[in-house]
Amino acid sequence: MGRRGLGRMAAAVLGVALAAAGMLYGGSLLPGRREPPPVSDWTDWDGTAVFLGDSITEFCDLERFYPGLHTVNRGISGDITAGMLERVQQDVCALAPQIAVVHGGINDIFLGVDDGTVVGNLMDIVAAIRQALPQTQVLVQSVYPVADGADLALTGHIRAVNQRLQALAEEKDYAYVDVFSALAAEDGRLTAGYADDGLHPNDAGYAAVQPVLSQAIKAAIARYAYGR
């Protein structure tokens, strides 16, 4: 798997409470304020969302699954979290997006990188974005499950990384987005029919991710428009 790919680059407020989105967002929504912002749609929103990741991000047709959202795809096939960290300044911070969606870790796990290093690299990515762009809303997706043929030990590593990402969300001030639960079967491996190669989501897989990630993005837009 080589490195390749670059990609393409709301706040109409609705009167819907942020109950579901609050579970997705790990950080304190508005310190010192009692009322959470309502969930926004991205209709007519002219902000940008940058997606940083590996091939799972690169292969997602963002315009198709998130129509009307101004997106930039910075997924690179085969990338690991250390590589994402190396390019976060150029691929995210230099673009000054309002939303940054981070997803990575499965290639590290395949390569035997220890869980602590994977989580540490992702936290360094979050910290770099936070330092350069304090108002940018950072979303960290869970590592996606892999299919039936995979060793269950891999699923154990995936679960462990995701648990740590979820636990750190409030401390590090990012939104943890639990996509794993939308994709996983009872045994924790990828639900049959969600990938053709056991790893990369197909249309059905990306469609299963879409409502979960869309809700998190809408909540992030509301927080950005509300001034965090």
Q: pTM of this prediction? A: 0.82
Confidence at residue 39, expressed as pLDDT on a 0 to 100 scale:
60
The answer to whether position 2 is within a domain reads: no
The answer to whether position 10 is within a domain reads: no
Residue 68 domain boundaries: 19-225
Confidence at residue 30, expressed as pLDDT on a 0 to 100 scale:
36
Which two tokens mark 189?
A: 């491996």
Which two tokens mark 213?
A: 């990630």
Rounded Cα distance between 69 and 72, Å, is: 10
Confidence at residue 133, expressed as pLDDT on a 0 to 100 scale:
97
Q: How many Cα atoms are found within 13 Å in the side-chain-facing hemisphere of 227?
A: 4
Beta bridge partners of residue 40, listed in sequence order = 13
**Total domains in the fold of the chain:** 1
The answer to whether position 218 is within a domain reads: yes
The answer to whether position 199 is within a domain reads: yes
The tens digit of pLDDT for each residue in 12-48 reads 322 222 233 333 333 333 344 445 556 667 766 788 9
Whichever domain contains 73, its CATH number is 3.40.50.1110
The answer to whether position 7 is within a domain reads: no
The tens digit of pLDDT for each residue in 132-151 reads 999 999 999 999 999 866 67
Rounded Cα distance between 226 and 174, Å, is: 16
In the chain, DSSP assigns E strands to: 49-53, 71-75, 99-102, 137-141, 175-177
Measure the CA angle with vertex 196, ends 193 and 202; round to 5°: 75
State the residue for tokens 């269950």.
Answer: 152
The answer to whether position 158 is within a domain reads: yes
Low-confidence ranges of the chain (pLDDT < 70): 1-40, 43-44, 148-150, 228
Rounded Cα distance between 215 and 14, Å, is: 13
Confidence at residue 148, expressed as pLDDT on a 0 to 100 scale:
63
Confidence at residue 45, expressed as pLDDT on a 0 to 100 scale:
77
The answer to whether position 8 is within a domain reads: no
Question: Residue 93 in contact with residue 129, Cβ under 8 Å?
Answer: yes
Rounded Cα distance between 101 and 98, Å, is: 10
Q: Which of the 8 DSSP states describes residue 149?
A: T
Q: What is the DSSP string of 93-137?
A: GGG--SEEEE---HHHHHHT--HHHHHHHHHHHHHHHHHH-TTSE
Confidence at residue 223, expressed as pLDDT on a 0 to 100 scale:
87
The answer to whether position 14 is within a domain reads: no
Three-state DSSP class for residue 203: helix
Three-state DSSP class for residue 69: coil
